Homo-oligomer: A and B are copies of this chain.
Amino acid sequence: MKNKPILRFGLPKGSLQDATIEKMAKAGYNIQVSSRSYVPYVDDAELEIRLIRAQEISRYVEHGYLDCGITGYDWIQENGSKVHEVGEFLFSKATRQPARWVLAVPENSPIKSVRDLEGKRIATEVVNLTKKYLRKNKVKAEVEFSWGATEVKAHELVDAIVEITETGSSLRANKLRIVDTLLYSTPRLIANTKSWQDNWKRQKIETMALLLKGALDAEAKVGLKMNIAQKDLDALLHSLPALRNPTISSLSQKGWVAVETIIDEHVVRELIPQLKAAGAEGIIEYPLNKVVY
């Protein structure tokens, strides 16, 4: 009897773990992590999940211990891993921004640009990215690996830090000033180059990418439905390009139609007052699980 094929899939352990498992469930893959076992349960017999720190996933995908995995672009670059990038995702619904690695110094530091780092000491978790950045800018400085709490060090232990931030508020709270951005980073689905050439594996990975993208897109979108008098419809559609390609259906009430569309959740707050002004009634917004174009 031939063995059932298996896809070994690495997910980021730690701070991104809960978010990733939630996104996977939205994509249709239910994962249960047990404190008793290091292999999580997943309701797909063709998958084997491994939880590995985001920093290390690209390395194990490159070596083939994992067929594919989700990790940040930053760590793929830091490790210099040779892997196939299948897709890019945006996890944070709240900020809708990628994370970025920035060069930061105390608010009152004389350092104003990367040039001023010559001969200085920099603490960071991404030593390779930082060295590359310095080389590119032809600056010679000492880069030391920081095991965490990097922000605090900028005030007395080193001259500058390279640290990750999303909204910048943690840096501001630590009275640090951003000097430059080294790298924007988003979560990526990556595959081992050999696994990617295997037909079965590639199709399995592509399906997962499709569903995951569908689930993530759905987080940022909503369904919008409203009634409007037939006579106002053209004006409405003309003036509001955000309502692209809506479904129009006639209502039992003469002269009225129902308009339904899928739009970005964050424009709803500007759109609804305009819809009301254009004569729309009975506007409802409903949540989506997946959106696949």
Query: Are B281 and A293 touching (Cβ within 8 A)?
Result: yes
Q: From known contacts A56-B147, A272-B292, infer whether A43 and B286 are also in contact, taking CB-CB under 8 Å.
A: no
User: Is A161 at the interface (CB under 8 A from chain B)?
Assistant: no
User: Is A214 at the interface (CB under 8 A from chain B)?
Assistant: yes
A148 partner residues in chain B, CB cutoff 8 A: 53
Of all chain B residues, the one with the shortest Cβ separation from A151 is B38
Which of chain A's residues 87-132 have a Cβ closer than 8 Å to chain B? Answer: 93-96
A29-40 toward B: CB 8 Å interface, digit per residue (1/0)?
Answer: 110101111110
Query: Are B247 and A252 touching (Cβ within 8 A)?
Result: yes
User: Is A266 at the interface (CB under 8 A from chain B)?
Assistant: yes
Q: Chain A contact residues: over half helix, strand or loop, or mixed?
A: mixed
Query: Are A269 and B29 touching (Cβ within 8 A)?
Result: yes
Q: Please tell me which one of the listed residues B149, B170, B269 contacts residue A211 in the complex, with CB atoms under 8 A apart.
A: B269
Contacts A32-B167, A38-B152, A39-B169 known; list 4 others, CB within 8 Å: A34-B169, A55-B147, A214-B285, A285-B288
- Give residues in A with beta carbon < 8 Å to B: 13, 27-30, 32, 34-39, 41, 43-44, 52-53, 55-56, 59-60, 65, 93-96, 144, 146-149, 152, 155-157, 167, 169-170, 172-174, 207, 210-211, 214, 218, 222-223, 227, 245-253, 258, 262, 265-266, 268-269, 272-273, 276, 281-293
The 10 closest A-B pairs by CB, nearest first: A36-B173, A28-B269, A285-B290, A285-B289, A30-B94, A248-B252, A283-B292, A53-B147, A37-B173, A38-B152
